[in-house]
Structure 1
Amino acid sequence: MSALNLDTWRDLPAAQQPEWPDRGALDRVVSELKGLPPLVFAGECDQLKAQLAAVARGEAFVLQGGDCAETFAGATADNVRNKLKTLLQMAIVLTYAGRVPVVKIGRLAGQFAKPRSKNTETRQGVELPAYRGDMVNGFDFTPESRVPDPGRLLRAYHSSAVTLNLARAFTKGGYADLRQVHAWNQDFVAGSPAGQRYEQLAREIDHALAFMRACGAEPEEFHTVEFYSSHEALILDYDHALTRIDSRTGLPYDVSAHMVWIGERTRQLDGAHVEFFSRIRNPIGVKLGPATTPEEALTLVEKLNPENEPGRLTFITRMGAGKVREALPMLVEKVTASGATVAWVCDPMHGNTFEAAGGYKSRRLDDVLDEVAGFFEVHRALGTHPGGIHIEFTGDDVTECVGGGHPIVEGDLALRYETACDPRLNRGQSLDLAFRVAELYRAE
């Protein structure tokens, strides 16, 4: 089958797709999207693929993170800067304390759609369609808000463009300069235990930079960072409309993001998502839960990376702290034995969700840390490379996850519970995680 036949997914069952009430309106929106400029370029996707190939070889580490579900209202300079600030601080901790090159990938500029376990939501006896992310419908619990609106696909594109423009400005315009390591810490995090630990590390970096300047060495890499975008390519009409043929190679790329992934709920081997992903040339990921069998993982490798291209395929495992040590080894062992070139990344968030008092969905930082520790233990025992972490975080001082060096308890959740979907680590908790990961990596 030709990789240029990009419509084959339409003949297969597609999970988690909206029930658009007006197909004509959807067709008009898709037609408009097809004529809009790319959000990223194929060459940038190839650069990320090369870096992920280094991860698969055990030479680098992935830090991938951002909002559970972006909102259109969140596409502001302050919000984007705060998320980047968190990612940069975590990357500094991992690079300096963990002594490993870090590939920085944001869950942003496209993460506007979410799969749901139920099609409807009921409150006080009223049943309405579930909120599926700003790309599909509105968060407000009203009949009008919850109707899937294809016009939101265009808003998602334009919000993604704004977010990417801001991200590029911050990462290339001086904000990501290593000399800014202290400036990134001048807010609520500075007074936390993680912030104080980070400040000590920043002083060490200052001393190292001063030494290098005295020696006449100040590489350009110290002033900017390579930063990539990613999202779950859930709404196939959107990602298909933003697939373009690369003028260099004649191959198709989904230019809505540098990297896209298939979620745990949409990785059916005979489904539309796997088929669509098999046609595009981006680096891609697949979420694997604890019920994944080695046979399923190997079939995914065969379908999505038949040429065994380094950097093409990342398996993002989401097992849960109580299952990772039991469920992960057989997957890693069988895939490695097959000769498949795969980067392994740990999502320690989605398998560790619980309902706290008051009905708040939350996660315990201790469970997140334990799953990451289990992920490292499995790879250490098998002699394979723990390639990265994939987390949901925010740069704001929210109270959505329990625990941390500046501890949040269940009674605090109502203070600033602001997520549009799943609970996120705040910046202090994210730094706690980064320091723990650095310790685990150095123990390898």
Structure 2
Amino acid sequence: MTLATHTTAVDSWRLLPAAQQPSYPDPVALRSALDDLASYPPLVFAGECDRLRDRIADVARGEAFVLQGGDCAESFDAVSSDQVRDKVRTLLQMAAVLTYASSVPVVKIGRIAGQYSKPRSNPTEIRDGVELPVYRGDSVNGLAFTPESRTPDPERLKRMYHSSAATLNLVRAFTTGGYADLRQVHEWNRDFVAASPVGERYERLAGDIDDALTFLSACGADPAAVHSSEIFASHEALLLDYEAALTRVDARTGKLYDVSGHMVWIGERTRQLDGAHVEFASTVRNPIGVKLGPTTSADEAMRLIDKLDPEREPGRLTFITRMGARNVREILPELIGKVTAEGARPAWICDPMHGNTFEAPSGHKTRHFDDVLDEVTGFFEVHRALGTHPGGIHVELTGDDVTECVGGGAEVRLADLGQRYESACDPRLNRKQSLDLAFRVAELYRDRTAQGAARREAVRAA
């Protein structure tokens, strides 16, 4: 791949308004940091992005399912072998359950190795009469409420690159070095089922998986031979200076790729059709995601498709819906119906987290597991009614036993939130809640498959 610097090939977005960008006090320091970034090697390669685009094309055709998950906002202090391993382990466990239940490949995409930036509702924060810039993620400034910490520092962009590189190295090592052994992953899930207060609900599915693995072994197809697994990296393409500095021309095709991650997405706050984020995404060949909230109209969705996927290429565009449990059944049908009627083929996946946030009496921002599950259930119901494919889930989660979201089988109560509330931004499902969700989504998928088979049988009988 050859260099396309932030001053040449990817400049079109600079002519448009760019929301949610930090205000750096020293433009010379910013330019120096971006020059350094533009000279660094790619974090991912164009061929890997193409492979993910092919995988998402299978999702768009109804032949695969996406599991996208990871931290709300990564932190530099959390780039350790143990923490990355636990995230990988949680994704592998969830994917094993979903793969069996759906009988289709599960495309595993981490919110990882680049998710260091967060959009915020207000540019500043006031405490005890003192007003400072809001914390925008470790890529921009620090969490400590001091003028020094909260001042945006462009050197943090370089640290984000190096932290992402270290994380990717660990992910690749875990997924190719035997940690993804299918038998081992299943044993982890068996342990979870045995220890879960609601484990009886999952015993049948876990037993079915065990029988399937035993059958494969008896046939000579030893599941233990499956030692590796693909986990792709994704993040919100929020800081456009960083994304542009890491954009390269692919020597094979002459096309631009954002080599900061395999997939990048545009958030609900930055998906303006005349804005810089949509323009930037339109110039790169990566798979692109767009978050769609409850205010999205069907016409807006179509204009986003026209801009980002004018050739209607399966795998190019993913719509990540974040409607909220109260809205998903009312709003989503019109969006899917209009897009489908127009012949477009984006993948549809559900973000059941961001539309279900509320403030606990303790002041903690939280989500209830039942609301998360209800939005996913509504997502499946809408697709079932329309005859379209529920393509996946997009979840903020961690492999740690945090207490940030309430509910779940091993219930976290409102009074428990202060015990291990470690997120600097939004609340995440802990490992047990994440696995609870995987088993429940597996049940939804199996119900959908069984109902589809029943309908086909009824048609044949008629």
Q: RMSD value over aligned CA atoms?
A: 1.8
Q: Which residue of 2 aligns with 1:32?
A: 36
Work out whether residues 71 and 398 of structure 2, in 8 Å CA contact, stay in contact via their aligned partners in 1.
yes
Measure how far apart 1:270 and its partner are: 0.3
Question: Match of 2:108, SS?
Answer: strand
Q: Percent identity?
A: 71
Q: Name the residue aligned to 1:244.
A: 248
Q: Is the CA contact 1:99–1:442 (under 8 Å) kept in the aligned structure 2?
A: no
Once residues 289 and 40 of structure 1 are traced to their aligned partners in structure 2, the CA distance between those partners, rounded to angstroms, is 29
1:208-241: CA deviation from partner (whole Å, max 9, x where unpaired): 3343233222379722111100000000000100
Q: Can you list the C-alpha shifts for 1:35-89, whole angstroms capped at 9, x where unaligned?
A: 1110111001011000100100011110000000000001110110111111111
Distance 1:57 1:86 in 2: 27
SS in 2 for 1:443: helix
Q: What does residue range 36-75 of structure 1 map to in structure 2 within 5 Å?
A: 36-75=40-79
Task: Find out whether 1:223 has 2:220 as its counterpart.
Answer: no
Give how far 1:5 is off. 4.1
Distance 1:36 1:97 in 2: 42
Aligned position for 2:144: 140
How far does the alpha carbon of each residue in 1:149-189 deviate from its partner, in whole angstroms, 9 at most, with x for none? 00000000000000000000000000011021255459888
Query: Aligned runs of 1:179-198 on 2, under 5 Å?
Result: 179-182=183-186, 184=188, 191-193=195-197
SS in 2 for 1:351: helix
Mapped partners of 1:409, 1:189: distance in 2 = 21
**Whole-angstrom distance in 2 between the partners of 1:189 and 1:117:** 39
Alignment partner of 1:327 out of 303, 318, 331: 331
Which residue does 1:372 correspond to in 2? Answer: 376
State the match for 2:182 in structure 1.
178
SS in 1 for 2:272: coil
Offset from partner CA, 1:72-114 (integer Å, 9 cap, x none): 0011101101111111111111112333321000000000000
Return closer, same or farther for 1:330/1:296 CA change in 2, 3 Å cut-off.
same
SS in structure 2 of the partner of residue 358 of structure 1: coil
Structure 2 CA distance for aligned equivalents of residues 145 and 53 of structure 1: 43
Q: Is the CA contact 1:87–1:104 (under 8 Å) kept in the aligned structure 2?
A: yes
Q: Separation in 2 of the partners of 1:166 and 1:186?
A: 25
Q: For residues 233 and 199 of structure 2, what CA distance do their matches in structure 1 show? A: 26
How many angstroms apart in 1 are the aligned matches of 2:340 and 2:208? 38
> Is 1:309 equivalent to 2:323 in the alignment?
no
Q: Which residue of 2 aligns with 1:384?
A: 388
Q: What residue identity is the alignment partner of 1:159?
A: S
TM-score, length basis structure 1:
0.96
Structure-2 separation of matches of 1:165 and 1:213: 32
Q: Is the 8 A contact 2:183 2:223 kept in 1?
A: no
1:16-415 correspondence to structure 2 within 5 Å: 16-182=20-186, 184=188, 191-193=195-197, 204-218=208-222, 222-415=226-419
Mapped contact 2:182–2:223 kept (Cα < 8 A): no
Structure 2: segments with no counterpart, 5+ residues: 1-7, 449-462
Deviations 1:237-294 (A, max 9, x none): 0010001111111100000000000000000000000000000000000000000011
- Per mean C-alpha deviation after superposition, the further-off stretch among 39-48 and 98-107 is 98-107
Contact 2:90–2:431 (CA under 8 A) maintained in structure 1: yes
Q: Using the alignment, how far apart are the partners of 1:210 and 1:318 within structure 2?
A: 39
CA distance in 1, matches of 2:80, 2:191: 18
What are the superposed Cα offsets for residues 294-341 of structure 1, whole Å, 9 maximum, x if unpaired? Answer: 111100000000111110000000000011111111111111111111
Change (3 A) 1:221 1:378: farther
Does 181-190 or 90-99 show the bigger shift? Answer: 181-190
Deviations 1:370-418 (A, max 9, x none): 1111111111111111100000000011110010011111000001100
Query: For residue 382 of structure 1, what is the amino acid of its counterpart?
Result: L
Provide structure 1 residue ranges, at least 5 long, that are not aligned to the other structure.
none
CA distance in 2, matches of 1:323, 1:390: 17
Give the conservation status (yes or no) of the 8 Å contact 1:93–1:198.
no
Residue 422 in 1 paired to residue 426 in 2? yes
| CA-CA distance at 1:147 after TM superposition | 0.3
Query: For residues 423 and 247 of structure 1, what CA distance do their matches in structure 2 show?
Result: 41
Distance 1:110 1:196, change over 3 A: farther
Letter in 1 for 2:299: E
Q: Do the aligned residues in 2 keep the contact of 1:136 with 1:153 (CA within 8 Å)?
A: yes
Change (3 A) 1:36 1:186: farther
Q: Give the Å deviation of 1:357.
A: 1.2
Shift of 1:116: 0.1
Normalised to the residue count of structure 2, the TM-score between the two structures is: 0.92
Letter in 1 for 2:106: V
The 1:147/1:436 distance shift into structure 2, 3 A limit, reads same
8 A Cα contact 1:400 1:423, kept in partner:
yes
CA distance in 1, matches of 2:380, 2:219: 37
Question: Are the structure 2 counterparts of residues 338 and 186 from structure 1 closer, same or farther at C-alpha, using a change threshold of 3 Å?
Answer: closer
Partners of 1:49 and 1:118 lie apart in 2 by: 35
Whether the aligned pair in 2 keeps the contact of 1:137 and 1:152 (CA below 8 Å) is: yes
How many pairs are equivalent?
A: 441
Retained in 2: the 8 A contact 1:79–1:395? yes
Q: CA, structure 1 residues 108+187, in 2 after alignment: closer, same or farther (shift >3 Å)?
A: farther
Q: Which residue of 1 aligns with 2:457?
A: none
